[in-house]
Amino acid sequence: MIRKFFLIVLAFLAINTFAQKKELTLKDAVLGYSKGLYPKNLNRLQWIDDNSYIYNDNDAYIVKKVSDNTVSLKISLKDFQKGFPKLKRLPRILAIDANKMYFKTGNSVVSYDYHSPAVLSKITFDKKGQNTDLNTNKNLVAYTVENNLYIANTGNSKIPVTEIEDKNIVSGQAIARYEFGITKGTFWSPNANYLAFYQKDESNVTNYPLVDITTYPASLKNIKYPMAGQGSEIPKIGIFDVAKKKTHYLKIDTSDEHYLTNLSWSPDEKYVFVAEVNRAQNHMELNMYNAVTGKKVRTLFTEDNDKWVEPETPALFLPNNKKEFIWISERDGFKNLYLYSIKGKLKKQLTKFTFPVKSILGFDKSGENVIVSATGKDARDTHFFKVNLKYGEITKLTSKKGMHNGQLKGNNILDNFSSLQIPREISIINLKDGQEETIFVAQNPLQDYKTATTEFLTLYANDGKPLYARMIKPSNFDYNKKYPVLIYVYGGPHAQLVTNRWLGGAPLWMNWFANQKDYIVFTLDNHGSENRGFAFESVIHRNTGQAAMEDQMKGVNYLKKLPYVDANRIAVHGWSYGGFMTNLLMTKQPNTFTTGVAGGPVTDWKYYEVMYGERYMDTPQENPEGYKNTRIANFIRNLKGKLLLIHGSVDPTVVPQHSMTLLKAAVDKEVQLDFFTYPMHKHNVRGNDRVHLMQKVLDYILENNK
């Protein structure tokens, strides 16, 4: 009797506790980071030296020692404000060592003794300056103003590197529309005696009109947008001699519009290495140039593939070695490490993983080992591996399944870890003994809220390859009930939605929608998505969407067989490539989905950019059948469900012409579509307006998925 009473009390307490949990709002879910609903982090965490690290805690930077994890220094906002009274928040650290840090305030970069504290030096640059690139060796800042490039030092705020009046020629900015791993346009040599920079001539690139509605009347804003099969930019690489204040160019003929990518310097500053890719993107040469004369020294090696070659990581020289470097290549089907000499001789293949290397963290203190991050056998994970350069011995440094993100300094890695079950753990891993010390554990930020449940699934494609999926169910899930489904899709290259991290990689609005609206939210990474190897990813070549659609239908058919899924109430939503996939599924599988919402969608690949579009589809002239098979307008008559297109009015990535031409085709063919635009938003809707976007998307699904 007592036991029975005890169980009743426990049940009552459990029900009462659940009832007292807070309800998420959609606004909270969409703005979750600012609302504190994602796991806490040691913000701006970075190494200072082998023995200490720094991070931001509220209004102060905290410095801790590795040896005992004790606080050795605290630098508050008030400390900074003694020298910079206008600072409203902690400045972001650009670089730091044991004695000083660098940070930007306004149009100045400050060298700051954070122990005193005291200003050591200040570099001021033009107020219109952008794309700043600091070199701490010689206290120099490279920056751009409009289409030209400049350098500033402590005594001169504007030393011209280029002074070109023609606005079609742009210096010091990223080229090739940020493809090929390109993220910036300036590259300091190791000792800062030279500055290499990208330059692009966009004279052959068509102007694309965008309309600014904030002016009275509205005004035209032209951008340069190279569409597939049309004129592209002509790239160059300039070298600025800091001492002589003179600029010259590498002697490369790019009149054929081939790409200059993955620029790097030799340690002795004598040579510049450039991965050159033809416009067809099926041939790559790693070329070595004399930095002073600009002349080509030699081609070190070439790579060819009948689909595409895509270098994304520059040559990385071994420590204290100016003759050998590491190159990452996908030539054997997975991204692996290869050791080369500057004579072009392949010394050895350092890794032979059957899964991709994701990045190189660096070398250990001895320089005998290179540390990499790679997926491991499960593509949803990320692990660290130590690779011995001489003997090839490989040691896996992490054992916990999940996503490990690291920073290396000397013989220690700062490991920022998360998994489906673990919000966040930050540890220090010692490379010598493998010991791991946890320095931070985040609590579940949703523990006081009613939340959905997330689980991983593995399905199998027609070729037998595993397809990783994620299913989010309401917290009060009832196996005997029939639930409607929202499928969220991306499906394109360079993206992986299902990962073994907190919430399974899902944004919090999915959790809210599942729990508050009694939905199942399902996501599957299909062929073409990232971190599965070249064969898995390259099946999209010349016919984007086909293999992806087959895989997504595997997911749909799996869902339909589940006793708790309402097979007559399945909706689909995606953005960008996911918008393309949404339109494709709605028009090529018209009896499957009641509702679709396609955001920023590619609707015709001929309207997409040269660099990305031609890699996967070739040109419209070379592949007319592939472009025909993926042009959504050709299948719009098939549409049976309700379809909403959403587009930013000044989208410079997937230009508004995509949605406009599909709407025109729908009108011509007497097909009803819905459309909504976000005025003056670019490729995605950000900030507080994103709440409006998600309300629009989810209300449309709720209204029509019946």
Question: Active-site positions?
Answer: 576, 651, 683
Reduce the DSSP state of residue 345 to 3 states and report it: coil
Strand (E) or helix (H) holding 615: helix 610-617
**Separation of CA 111 from chain center:** 30
Query: For every residue of 503-545, which 3-state class applies, written as one string?
Result: HHHCCHHHHHHHHHHCCEEEEECCCCCCCCCHHHHHCCCCCCC
Distance of alpha carbon 250 from alpha carbon 238, whole angstroms: 6
Neighbours of 67 (CB within 10 A): 8
**Separation of CA 505 from chain center:** 13
Neighbours of 637 (CB within 10 A): 13
Distance of alpha carbon 91 from alpha carbon 77, whole angstroms: 9
- Strands 403-409 and 283-290, sheet pairing: unpaired
| Long-range contacts at 161-166 (CB < 8 A, ≥ 24 apart) | 161/195, 161/197, 161/238, 161/240, 161/247, 162/199, 162/238, 162/247, 166/203
Q: DSSP letters along 209-226, please?
A: EEEETTSSS-EEEEEE--
Reduce the DSSP state of residue 312 to 3 states and report it: coil
Length of the chain, in residues: 706
Contact by Cβ (8 Å): 678, 687: no
Distance of alpha carbon 350 from alpha carbon 392, whole angstroms: 6
